[in-house]
Structure 1
Amino acid sequence: MSDSPRIPGRLVRLAGSATHVVVEPGPAGVPPVVLSSGLGGAWYDWDRVVPLIAGLAPVLRFDRPGLGWSEPAALPPTLAGEADRIRALLTTPGVLAPDAPPAGPAVVVGHSLAGFHVEAFARLFPELTAGVVLVDASAEPEAAGPEPETAAQRRLAQWRTVGELAGRTGLAGLAMPRLRALAIRLSRNGGSDLADPADVAATAASGRLLTSALLENATYDALAAQLLELRCEKPFPQEPPLRVIAAFGSTPAVRALPFAAGRVSQRNESWLARQRQLAELSERGRLIELADSAHYVPFDRPDAVAETVRELLASLD
Structure 2
Amino acid sequence: MRTMPRGTTVEAGGRRIALYREGSGGPPVVFLPGAGLIGLEYDNVLRGAAALTTAVTYDRGGTGWSDPVPLPRTAAAVAGELREALRAAGIDGPYVLAGHSIGAVYARRFAQLFPADVAALLFIDPGHEDILRFLPPEVVAMNERMKPSWDSLPDLTAEQLDASRAALLRLYADWPGDVRAGLVEHRLQTWRTGIAEGRNLEDEVYAELAAGGPLPPVPLIVLSAADRNPVWVQHLPPELLERAHAGIHALHASIAASVPGGSHRLVPGASHQYFHVQQPGAVLDALRDLLRRCTTQTGTYV
The answer, yes or no, to whether TM exceeds 0.5 is yes
Shift of 1:17: 1.4
Q: Give the direction of change, closer, same or farther, for the CA distance of 1:177–1:245 in structure 2 (3 Å limit).
A: farther
Q: Aligned residue for 1:153?
A: none
Tell me the TM-score normalised to structure 2 length: 0.78
Corresponding position of 2:16 = 18
Among 66, 80, 83, the alignment partner of 2:79 is: 83
Counterpart position of 1:116:
105
Show the counterpart of 2:207.
225
Contact 2:62 2:71 in 1 (8 A): no
Aligned equivalent of 1:235, options 190, 214, 239: 214
Aligned to 1:265: 242
Give me the whole-angstrom Cα distance separating, in 1, the residues matched to 2:233 and 2:251.
26
Q: CA 1:173–1:23 in 2, change beyond 3 Å: closer, same or farther?
A: farther
Say whether residues 1:310 and 2:288 are aligned partners.
yes
Structure 2 partner of 1:297: 275
Letter in 1 for 2:259: S
Q: Which residue of 2 aligns with 1:37?
A: 33
- Report the CA distance shift for 1:45/1:177 in structure 2 as closer, same or farther (over 3 A): farther
What is the rounded CA distance, in whole Å, between the counterparts of 2:278 and 2:269 in structure 1? 8
Q: Which amino acid aligns with 2:292?
A: A
Q: Which segment drifts farther, 300-309 or 80-89?
A: 80-89
Within 2, Cα distance between the matches of 1:138 and 1:312? 21
Query: Is the contact made by 1:19 and 1:70 (CA closer than 8 Å) also made in structure 2?
Result: yes
TM-superposed CA distance for 1:66, in Å, is: 2.2
Q: Relative to structure 1, is the Cα distance of residues 302 and 180 closer, same or farther in structure 2, using a 3 angstrom cutoff?
A: farther
Structure 2: which amino acid aligns with 1:141? D
Q: Pairwise CA RMSD of aligned residues?
A: 3.3
User: Any stretches of 5+ residues in structure 2 without a counterpart?
Assistant: 134-149, 296-302
**Residues 72 and 212, structure 1, Cα contact 8 Å, conserved in 2:** no
Q: Output aligned runs, 1:1-317, within 5 Å.
A: 5-27=3-25, 30-74=26-70, 76-92=72-88, 95=89, 101-141=90-130, 194-195=174-175, 196-204=179-187, 209-210=190-191, 212-221=193-202, 222-230=204-212, 234-238=213-217, 240-250=218-228, 257=234, 260-295=237-272, 296-317=274-295
Question: Larger deviation: 303-312 or 214-223?
Answer: 214-223
For residues 4-63 of structure 1, give each alpha carbon's deviation from its aligned partner in whole angstroms, at most 9, with x where no partner exists: 644310011112211100100223xx2100001101101122123223222211111100
Contact persistence 1:14–1:88 (CA under 8 A): yes
In 2: Cα distance, 1:34 partner to 1:213 partner: 20
Question: Across the two proteins, how many residue pairs are aligned to each other?
Answer: 273
Task: Provide the rounded CA distance (Å) in 1 between the counterparts of 2:186 and 2:14.
Answer: 21
Judging changes above 3 Å, is the alpha-carbon distance between structure 1 residues 74 and 265 closer, same or farther for their aligned structure 2 residues? closer
Residue 270 of structure 1 aligns to which amino acid in structure 2? G
Q: 5+ unaligned residues in a row in structure 1: which ranges?
A: 96-100, 145-157
Corresponding residue SS for 1:49: helix
